[in-house]
Amino acid sequence: MLDQLLNRAENTGDLSLEEIEQLLNLEDQSDIDSLFACAYRVKTRYVGRIAWFRGIIEFSNICSKDCYYCGIRRSNSKTQRFTIPEADIIESAVWAWKAEYGSVVLQSGERSDPAYIDMVERLIKEIKERTNGELGLTISLGEQSEETYQRWFDAGAHRYLLRIETSNPELYAKLHPADHSFENRVECLRRLRKVGYQTGTGVMIGLPMQTTRHLAEDLLFFKRMDIDMIGMGPYIFHSDTPLIGYRAEWEIPAKKLLNLGLKMIALARLLMRDINIAATTALQALEHDGREQGLLAGANVIMPNATDTQYREAYQLYENKPCTDENASMCRGCLQRRIEKIGEQIGFGQWGDSPHFAGRVKSSGL
Ligand code: 5AD
Ligand code: FES
């Protein structure tokens, strides 16, 4: 039964909602391993055994939003707020370029005031200039107007990550204050595509009140939105957030949560063969080699932290975030060893765009 199902998925990329849910619910470890092996074959065929590096620079934890799960939400007065000086952010990006990371991701809490929008525009331009236009630039800066997205695109950013967090509007409403809009977030994903970004989204896995049906729907949402990249990872409770009250009832044991995260990666690979999928750092928070396991389940992107070590401690979206003590070059060496150990290559010095995006642009005649 399982073999037949996996065979079909491998050959056609088609799975129904019920079938996806059934695969998410697999419990027998050898069945789960068959799912991962199948996704790995699809990965090998469509995107190769290459891990692309994106150095992530988390440059500010000031946030105007108040998501109930997030450690840097506006109302968390225990977080020490920081914004890295522009010159230091640029230095980190230049370091990543010299270390042959093909690209970096700039991420921060969400702000949309004019001073911030100008600063980001300056940063993008300066980073492009200082790296001879060679460094790929992804930004992950939340919900913005089309005009802002366009300005940042024109300045030189070409990929954007905006997680939908959950594709279920009712669950979304339970995880956010009333003035956070699910519809606007979906609209932002459309805007980003319209402006011309390679667009990435994702969800948190293991949220309170989330079912495997919700997760199966998330995967079909990604497919329907025809997205180019996915970054999704386990949800990890943070003590200084409102959702902590759900911990006793909803926390999933680490091993099971890791497996669920890996199954989501494998299923995303089966359904959307040629996209980029990240093995996120939160996987590593659950098991020390969680990211390598992500690569073996079908992911092809790793996001080593390239933030100055002195700022890492304060950017705690969740607790026990790995690598907050290591500096950027330690992360590079450590990851390189880990990846080579599982027999993969690192795509040093290249942007590593998803073949899916290339196909999408070609077919639309752009
Ligand atoms: N656990 C895991 N991921 C989280 N994020 C925010 N808070 C948490 C948490 N407690 C994720 C969100 C956001 C991304 C930057 O971090 O999905 O989009
Ligand atoms: Fe910052 Fe949600 S708390 S975007």
Burial of residue 287 (CB within 10 Å: 0-12, 13-18, 19+) is middle
Please tell me the distance between residue 120's alpha carbon and the centre of ligand 2 in angstroms. 18
Residues 5, 267: Cα–Cα separation, whole Å: 12
- CA–CA separation, 263 vs 31, rounded Å? 11
Q: Where are the domains of the chain?
A: 2-364
Separation between Cα atoms, residue 173 and residue 339, nearest integer Å: 39
Closest C-alpha to ligand 2, atom 3: 73
User: Which atom of ligand 1 sits closest to the CA of residue 236?
Assistant: 1
> Nearest bound ligand to CA 68?
2
> Is pTM, for the whole model, over 0.85?
yes
Atom of ligand 1 nearest to the CA of 317: 7
Q: Select from 341, 307, 336 the least CA-distant residue to 324.
A: 307
Closest residue by Cα to atom 2, ligand 2, is 67
**In the 3-class helix/strand/coil scheme, how is 68-120 assigned residue by residue?**
CCCCCCCCCCCCCCCECCHHHHHHHHHHHHHCCCCEEEEEECCCCCHHHHHHH
Round to whole Å and give the CA distance between 213 and 23: 11
CATH class of 2-364: alpha beta
d(CA 246, CA 248): 6
* Separation of alpha carbons 255 and 27, rounded Å: 12
Atom of ligand 1 nearest to the CA of 140: 15
- Say if residues 235 and 206 touch (Cβ distance below 8 Å): yes
Ligand nearest to the CA of 74: 2
Structure tokens at 238: 């943070």
* 67 neighbors 180 (Cβ within 8 angstroms): yes
Name the strand (E) or helix (H) holding 205: strand 204-205
In angstroms, the Cα distances linking 220 to 79, 125, 215 are: 36, 36, 9
Which pLDDT tens digits describe the chain residue by residue (366 residues)?
Answer: 899 999 999 999 999 999 999 999 999 999 999 999 999 999 999 999 999 999 999 999 999 999 999 999 999 999 999 999 999 999 999 999 998 999 999 999 999 999 999 999 999 999 999 999 999 999 999 999 999 999 999 999 999 999 999 999 999 999 999 999 999 999 999 999 999 999 999 999 999 999 999 999 999 999 999 999 999 999 999 999 999 999 999 999 999 999 999 999 999 999 999 999 999 888 988 998 999 999 999 999 998 888 877 777 767 776 766 666 556 666 777 888 889 999 999 888 888 888 888 887 766 654
